[in-house]
Structure 1
Amino acid sequence: MSGEHWPARVFDAGRPRGGGSGFVITPEHVMTAAHVVYGMTEPTVELPARPDLGKLSATVEFVGTWQPSGDGQGDVAVLRLREPVPVAPARFAAGNALDLPRDLVVLGFPATGDGYGRIAAVRATTARFLIDGEWVQLQSQAAFGPVVGKGYSGAAVALPSSGEVVGMITSADRADRLGHMLPTVRLKYYWPPLMDLLPLGPLAPSDHTELRRALAGMPVDLARTAARRATEDERGPEPEPAALAAAGSAYEVAAYLAEGLYLDGTDPARIRSVLDLFRRSLISPPNDQALKPPAAEQTITVSVCVSRSGSGQRNLLLSIRLRRAGEPLAELCHEVVSRGRLRTRVQELVPQVIARHVPSGPQVAVEFVLPRGLLSLPVDDWTLGPGSVVRIGWRHPVTVRDLARFQQQAPDWDHSRRWLALCGSGCDDVVHWIGCRDAVDASKLAAALARHTERAVLALAAAPEPVATHPALRAAFDSGLPVMLWRREACTEHTEGNGAAENCTGSQFRSKMAEQMTALGNSGSLVELPEVLRRLRTEAGEAGDENHHGHGVTLLWDPPSQHPVTPPLQMARGE
């Protein structure tokens, strides 16, 4: 890697003997392994190829899902340097660079007497099969010389000819001369902003980003047709029908054309020509009428995702993305926040995102992807700015989604079938109500839902506490229901001991909300429930009525078409 200045040593200024490796990915960011920075109080970076820069102070901006006592997955972290460095960042290889076994090099910083880094030669198995769906296996090549081990964690793994990065070291076993590497496909899964730094086949990162944004919202069926037309015009290999069928978006079709249909090393000009034909065929068809998504697909969703940060129990990982019709548009925030600052930070960021990144015209919806135990957070009552009195749920349809289901990798056919029932049936067929005094047995409810496969909505007249383990929600999630709705407060009539109160607030809520949903079901527009609930929230706010059926309501809304891209094919343990 002659001439490359981006390899880094990462250590704690208070304990300079420990630490590991890293690599500069932008002038302000260094990527490393999460376990390298675990417990650091003063993260510090050195660039051995640029000793004139000295020791660089940094802060931990992102930590993956790795835990000290966990399974080792999500072992990635990103540091933000206090000041940008005048160093050309690492360049990444195309996503298909490891379709076949390759010889690679790793520059790490093990503890040595001379303090110099060491370059280890390794060989990678194909990235088409990942160990536990996470790692590429590396084997140290030479019988003598440097072996990947302690001090190499967080180091970039690169192609020896070009210095382009294909992944990052997370662990190694010196005795077996084996190591594990997180390939770029997994690095970007944990830290989505990396997508903007990656090429796509022969396309530079900037061209890749522009193409991805241009294809957002384009119908995938038309993209499959455009892919066949483009390859026919180029007289190239025909796309595999199974590969096109597996693509869930127009962008995934383009990625298949760029890195799946052709092996690494194919004439770049040919792939560029195919991609250009594909794009022109899709965006500007022969009749010169640009393809426009249906009006419903014009809605832009601000997706606020909250998950475990991996940097302590009191911290959370906050990310904000923009989507249109399920297609990713941009990753705008990825940071660690304390639980106590979550609401304040969301109230700061959401209005900024909408003002700066959402064009005028489309409706804006806001969804919160939350751990199950946080699903009853009153996020619709949070405001559009720390000092604002305007609640998010008054201005925009606000819904929640379950983080575990959102991250689920395998398709859930029950979930998809029930969503179709929601789109095509009346309210009486799809809504399952649970009253505020009804005792719920998870097994019995699951059996009832299995018998009524048309059920798509679970509605509760009282707060399901605790949310994480409530039997009704557990049965609904396990049965694939895509929509759930509940009041966040219990009936005071019952909590005060009047168990016989028949006209309690829960019963009134059920009666009025059922009337709303029946009207929607009769008109075939239950999919408009988020917008209807927004209007009800404004009515409740205007009236100042805490018993209004639009006050304190959580709506879980989980269309099956808006889940993350399924990761690569996984190899089971022991195979």
Structure 2
Amino acid sequence: MTTASWHVRISYGGQTLGAGFLVTDRHVLTCAHVVARADADAFRVTFAHGPTDVHGDGRDGIPARVVRHGGWSGRATDPGDLAVLELDRPVSVEPARFAAPSAAYGEPPRRLYVYGFPKRYDEGTLAEYRATADQLIAGEWVQLEAWTPHGQPLAPGFSGAAVTLADSGLVVGMVSAAAHSPEIRNGRMLPAQVMARYWPPLGELIPTPGHTRREKQQLREFVAAMSREEELECRPEGLYRDAVGALGPPLPAKGFRDLWDAAWYLLSEVPDSTAAARFAARLADFVEDARLRGALRSWPGRPRPGTRGPVAGASPWSPILVEIAPSGSGDDRFLVEVSVYAGGNRRLVGSRTLPVDGVQGYAQECVDEAYRDLTEDDRELIAFALPRRRLNTDVAHWRRSATDESPLGSFAPVVVLDLERRRSGALQHKLAQKWRLLDDRPVARMHRIGCGSVGQDPVRLTVGLRHGADMVGFGIPPRADGARKLFEASLNAAVPVLLWPRSACRGGPDHQDCPGARFLDRLAEQLAELPPSELPSRIHELRMQSYLPDAPQARWADDLALLWEDPRCLPEPTGYQHSPVR
């Protein structure tokens, strides 16, 4: 305490109003009620132990003005009792330093010092206190009680004073209220992490494990830039839930005032240091500016632990997963979530509920963003998880981007997944077992289902495929009822690979030489001697060949659809089951 020259007295018109403390070379913190009844531009700040060059004109103090107010409404129980004063010039005094949010509490209790300016103590005086508990009163204050029964009470003049640790002098909060009677030796402290809700730059000065001062400054600036938008589609409570997951800490009782309140709560109160990064990534989903969106998704700009743990098992692929699911808010609206698996971890790139005509553009945009997480050594795989009735959607022919009309399937390997099967624990278990067997086989066994097979029993097909096929080739698309039933039977058999033409014959008797049969013959020819793990790459090659002018024999592959699912490289996490839009 002997070196704490940053304690200040705040006065107006020659009268002492209360205490405060310097936190930057130009900013002083105090209570809003200390400066509430005076001209916001006419305060004087005097340093109790500062060198003579910081006292201003004579001993009258340095001129200061209020530049930030916490929103305090005037009653003792109103929140936001914080004001930030800006000095008219920088000073040479070293500002206060802050302790971590939990440092004020413990067993035995931590001794706390308070330096204030009550009546008849022009030079200031000390009071010794301790925090009753770490529980916030009304989500805002911590109760203080006297260290001894006969010490200095928190009388008028202590309001706005820093509460410091006796052994280190680090700040843990600010006195915001005292008992009305001097016989009752208690008061209230506004903890430092609560003050940072109302003045975001303060968060950079408070130690938070897992995040540097520069990282917190960047996130604060990103949130501030986004908060200037007139209308936001996201709510902080929804973003918070997605950041911490279903088993994470619950929401504060009063929710969040704004986006920064949620971001700072994650930084200062949530033990998982990766939660704030997930918050930033989800927030990016609602940003129109491409540079800001990219900055949020890459924050904090250094390698970070995975969002949902390591991928189970080795995989030659680094997939980009596009999940398109019914939103529950209407038949024409879908929840689109795009994730990237890189370095053994999964990261959510974006999540948004959209009408059907907005799905393709948003997916293109997020897929492009996802490539930023891949290295030059990663083998990309773009996987679309679709509702079963939409598995024939021609995603391989979606244009690659808004400025590139070339098909996505000619740019990278594209596969589809069945959303229903992906969410079935039993089928995912069977798929994992099937792949363990496939790893020991040089080639996969393909079961053919041609046009003439439409009338067979789906249940018998399911049971038979579980033991006798590694992949199923269809000569018909899953359009007509009979074909769809056989298609579902193959999915329920946990067959890892399904191939089919999106158009051509619709099925029926006497179709031995139809386009579907020729399609299956070409499949057998092209996929012979090929390990199943390399199917996406081979199909990608065939799709690219179908666009070459000197390879007309490959045009058949332009209509080829591939369902390929290996749970080891596309594990289903427990999170990401809801949108940040509430």
TM-score normalised by structure 1 residue count: 0.49
Larger radius of gyration: 2
TM value normalised by structure 2: 0.48
